[in-house]
Amino acid sequence: MLSVFDNVRDVTFLSVVTRMLCCVVSGGPTRDEREYKRRPAGIRTHILICLGASATTLTSEFLYLNMGQFTDIARFGAQVIAGVGIICGGAIIVTRHKKIKGLTTAAGLWTVAIIGLCYGAGFYEGGILATLVMLLIELFLAKWEFKMMNASPDFRFIAEYTDPTQLETILRILRNMFAVIKDMEVMRPAEGHRTSCVTFALTLTGKYTAAEVLETIRSIEGIGDVTEV
Amino acid sequence: MIAFFDSLRTMSFGAMAFRFLLAVLFGGLIGIERERHSRAAGLRTYSLVCIGAALAVMLSEYEYAMIHTVWADKMASIGIGTDVSRFGAQVINGIGFLGAGSILVTGRQEVKGLTTAAGLWACACVGLAIGAGFYEAVVVAFILIFISIRYLQGIGTRLKERSKNMNIYVEFTSLDQVAEVVGAVKSANARIYDMEINQPNATSMGRASAVMFLGLEKETKHTDVLTRVACLETVTACEEI
């Protein structure tokens, strides 16, 4: 543990101010990437959760150290971990395509709450290290993650077609290009329209890339829009 | 226990930094593996959860250390210390809620996201062990969790592909077409074990739907059945579930 913080380990006015300011500083940068992507949890949410969490461990220490009352100082803070878990669970969205969104934001918010607990308890080292590691993940690992994603053998696409024989052609192409169909969904619109829509979830097992498969499908005569999703 | 790790079990700054890096590494590797299969939770989600869990335990250890050193006289007069497992215990709870938010039941009687929830929860639990400096368990758990995610998934998909049973969800324009759908399924040599028909209602945009539990011939491919049903004029949506 670092001796720099020895002056602010007890509950004094100075340490309360220091701890709360640390929360504001840590809650800010950990969300940077998110706000930019217009995800629901922004800078204020992160700072609020962080500050609220720090108030609980601070209060516990105040009751124990300053008032000398009989309590386990971990009791308040522990409930924060479960409570924020519930809030975060509510921040997860299910889209119409049956995909989950916001899970990473939720996990980040939950971790920020624990960072807040650490600051409130005077465990500055933990809070600072965790903030640094979170920044490291956001700044560097996230880029690597997107590269990995692009190299994934799994992909989904939507194709529009007008004639059932075109669907059979698509299926034949997929078979020839060693794309294993994991899931398939056909949608027909209401009367009056001729265009049908098919969604495929595939795993590539051969040497062909997703772009090549899509290119071949686009070359089918009379096929509508083909888009990767 | 392995003595080599003893210096990393203390609460020194270096040992704490090591635990954080281990948490990122552990969560990251598992997350990448899940992400390759385009799952909702990836590298960032898993490592964040793992860091959070490790941090919670370290916080407990910090409070315990403070109470037994700097605040030792307070403890003597008040007569209660702290329970080092209190913070960690709630992690198990909290991540349960987080996981529950990622599970969805679709209108087609399928449950999705259960493995993601279970994986996140397991990751958080190993995060607790990392925070506590219980590295032996972390190594063993990592190997086993990684193997389960990496190899068992492929086996699961392959089994499902070759399975003689299949469940499909079909949506069609009105209940009159049930016979036509059944005919298409039968023409693919599939037996219908059970079938649930849903009446058209306000949420289904006036369309009827059915979930069918089928038994296939050995050589019939799942996609063959799907194509036959999908090629019917009256079918508006069809999917294996």
Q: Is the pLDDT of residue A33 over 70?
A: no
Q: Which residue of A has its CA nearest to B107?
A: A98
Q: What are phi and psi of B106, to 5 degrees?
A: -80, 170
What is the homologous superfamily of the domain A154-228 according to CATH? ACT domain (3.30.70.260)
Name which of B170, B228, B162, B217 is nearest B195 in CA terms: B170
Residues of chain B found within 8 Å of residue A99, distances taken between Cβ atoms: 40
Query: Closest Cα of chain A to B138: distance in Å?
Result: 19
Q: What is the mean pLDDT of residues A48-65?
A: 92
Q: What is the mean pLDDT of residues B37-41?
A: 70
Q: Do residues B179 and B118 both lie within one domain?
A: no
Residues of chain B found within 8 Å of residue A90, distances taken between Cβ atoms: 101
Q: Is the pLDDT of residue A164 over 90?
A: no
**B44 neighbors A145 (Cβ within 8 angstroms):** yes
Q: Do residues B192 and B225 both lie within one domain?
A: yes
Name which of B137, B124, B161 is nearest B47 in CA terms: B124
Q: How many interface pairs between A and B have CB atoms less than 8 angstroms apart? A: 244
Q: What is the mean pLDDT of residues A162-187?
A: 78
Task: Indicate yes or no: CB of A133 within 8 angstroms of CB of B51.
Answer: yes
ipTM for the whole complex: 0.77
Task: Indicate yes or no: CB of A154 within 8 angstroms of CB of B71.
Answer: no
Q: Do residues B36 and B70 both lie within one domain?
A: yes
Domain count, chain B: 2
Measure CB to CB from residue A118 to each of B43, B55, B157 and give the nearest one. B55
pTM of the predicted protein model = 0.79
Q: Which of A84, A93, A118, A133 to mutate to test the interface with B (most CBs of B within 10 A)?
A: A133
Write down the pLDDT at residue A196. 77
What's the per-residue H, E or C state across A23-91? HHHHHCHHHHHHHHCCCCCCHHHHHHHHHHHHHHHHHHHHHHHHCCCCCCCCHHHHHHHHHHHHHHHHC
Write down the pLDDT at residue A35. 47
Residues of chain A found within 8 Å of residue B107, distances taken between Cβ atoms: none
Pick the last residue of a domain from B160, B180, B202: B160
Q: Is the pLDDT of residue B202 over 70?
A: no
Q: Do residues B57 and B172 both lie within one domain?
A: no
Alpha-carbon span A51 to A218, nearest angstrom: 53
Write down the pLDDT at residue B204. 62
Write down the pLDDT at residue B107. 66
Q: Do residues B52 and B146 both lie within one domain?
A: yes
Q: Do residues B156 and B184 both lie within one domain?
A: no
Residues of chain A found within 8 Å of residue B132, distances taken between Cβ atoms: none
Q: What is the mean pLDDT of residues A137-160?
A: 77
Q: Does A164 touch chain B (CB under 8 A)?
A: yes
Q: Which residue of B has its CA nearest to A30?
A: B48
Structure confidence at residue B90 as a pLDDT band (50, 70, 90): very high
Q: Do residues B37 and B71 both lie within one domain?
A: yes
- Tally of CA atoms within 13 A in the half-sphere of A213 that contains its CB: 32
Q: Do residues B126 and B176 both lie within one domain?
A: no
**B36 neighbors A134 (Cβ within 8 angstroms):** no
Q: Does A148 touch chain B (CB under 8 A)?
A: yes
Q: Find the angle CA(A150)-CA(B21)-CA(B26) to the nearest 5 degrees.
A: 55
Pick the last residue of a domain from B144, B160, B176: B160
Task: Indicate yes or no: CB of A183 within 8 angstroms of CB of B240.
Answer: yes
Query: Closest Cα of chain B to A150: distance in Å?
Result: 9
Q: Do residues B168 and B96 both lie within one domain?
A: no
Measure CB to CB from residue B80 to each of A70, A83, A167 and give the nearest one. A70
- Token output for B50: 């793992």
Task: Indicate yes or no: CB of A134 within 8 angstroms of CB of B51.
Answer: yes
Q: What is the mean pLDDT of residues B25-45?
A: 82
Task: Indicate yes or no: CB of A82 within 8 angstroms of CB of B94.
Answer: yes
For the stretch A77-132, pLDDT in tens is: 999 999 999 988 887 877 766 677 788 888 988 999 999 999 999 999 999 999 99
Measure CB to CB from residue B20 to each of A64, A129, A186 and give the nearest one. A129
Residues of chain A found within 8 Å of residue B47, distances taken between Cβ atoms: 137, 141
Structure-model confidence comparison of residues B33 and B158, the more confident one: B33
Structure-model confidence comparison of residues B174 and B31, the more confident one: B31
Task: Indicate yes or no: CB of B104 within 8 angstroms of CB of A94.
Answer: yes
Q: Which residue of B has its CA nearest to A91?
A: B101
Chain A segment 24-83 residues within 8 A of B by beta carbon are 57, 64-65, 68-75, 77-83
**Which CATH number is B222's domain given?**
3.30.70.60
Q: Do residues B16 and B120 both lie within one domain?
A: yes
Task: Indicate yes or no: CB of B83 within 8 angstroms of CB of A122.
Answer: no
